Homo-oligomer: A and B are copies of this chain.
Amino acid sequence: MSEKLKGNMMIAQSGGPTVVINQSLVGAVIEAKRHNQIKGVYGSLNGIKGVMDGRFVDLRKETSANLGKVAATPCSALGSVRKKPNEQDCEIIFRMLQKYDIRYFFYIGGNDSAETANILNESAKKVNYEFRCFHIPKTIDNDLLENDHTPGYGSAAKFVAMAVMGDNQDNMSLPGVKIDVVMGRHAGFLVAASALARVNASDGPHLIYFPERPFTKEQFLKDVEKTYSKYGRCLIAVSEGISDEKGEAIASKFTKEVDTHGNVQLSGTGVLGDLLADMIRQELKVSRVRADTFGYLQRSFPGISSEVDAKEAYEAGKLAVRYAVSGNIDGSVSIKRKAGKKYGAYFEVVNLNKVAKNTRSMPPAFINRAGNGVTADFINYAKPLVGKLPDVGFLKKYPVLRK
């Protein structure tokens, strides 16, 4: 094989968006322009669906100024797709890649995208088609294997922390029980980030529930009652993916839709929050119970991305291209954490099949023994990924002498 593989590059985005997924796109495009062996720099619209349909855009023609603005814009500028290709799809995709002389392929997405990249890469090997294939990680759920954390998580975590910070003030203003439903189907990293909202010991979230621990109505009501009698209010952050002891999602009984990956749709609906609120109203003597579901804002809210997250997402895209042009390697760009007290990250290439298919959950050391809160280990883990949060002030409330 030639040391310097010449040909066109294609990049695409897949799965649920994040607010920094365009950083990875732009990082890769700008890096690609620096390497002569990469000729055309193409983007496929709506992931592999665009590849199948031949809907490609020329990213070389975009100005640097416009690319800079796109990088700072939430969600997938090329459009996204939720599609797991079958064998026949893969044949079509691979034929298109050959037709357009695509020698460099970059797929930004979660573990399903890593799997797609892996299948394409294996197809190329079978027919001896010289091909560099990279997966660039993104997911707000933070559930990719082989990564300390993934681009998209820090910013979504920052949104959740800010939202709960504000909601804690709201709950202090008008006391009652408040439930906030947070994304994360199988991993509790995002709901755990709500803990970063706390400034004082009495601040919410007072209770956090994870998909990693079985959820029981009895324990939940006990927890809420205890907190409410202590503080006169209770702020709860709960993952959309909380499940019973059999592993059945509490919310899944109330939803119908299943995506093409076979995942039940848990977001974009208020049923879980309303269900838990009704539980509390019926069983405990609390008059004011409210629930909010944060929904898509977690992955799309503009203007407040985590600086570290944005930077690392850009780096992941840039390095994928750099790795790809460096020799005959394929893989997924993974983020590792440097040892030591001060936060630092470094990147490594790992095999595509190591990131594909399976996902990871919160390490048990991040969840407290009662299963209703996080540990200091988690706070240390998440804080540098999220960065600075807004300052909040509290009145000292010096009492006036009673008359």
A interface residues, Cβ below 8 angstroms from B: 13, 16-17, 19, 40, 42-43, 45, 54, 56-59, 61-62, 66-82, 99-100, 162-163, 165-167, 169-170, 172-175, 178, 267-271, 273-274, 277, 290-297, 299-304, 389-400, 402-403
Contact = CB atoms under 8 A, between A and B. Distances in A.
A43 B300 CA distance: 39
A267 B403 CA distance: 40
A392 B302 CA distance: 8
A16 B174 contact: yes
B70 A395 contact: yes
B74 A169 contact: yes
Contacts of A394: 70, 73, 77
A78 B169 CA distance: 11
A17 B70 contact: no
Contacts of A402: 54
A75 B166 contact: yes
Contacts of A40: 400
Contacts of A173: 13, 17, 75-76, 79-80
The 8 closest A-B pairs by CB, nearest first: A270-B270, A69-B393, A292-B295, A303-B390, A166-B300, A75-B169, A268-B290, A56-B400
Contacts of A390: 72, 302-303
10 contacts: A17-B174, A62-B395, A76-B173, A76-B174, A166-B296, A166-B300, A166-B302, A167-B297, A169-B302, A269-B291
A170 B392 contact: no
B302 A57 contact: no
Contacts of A13: 173
Contacts of A304: 303-304
Contacts of A270: 269-271, 273-274, 293
A267 B296 contact: no
Nearest to A400: B56
A297 B293 CA distance: 10
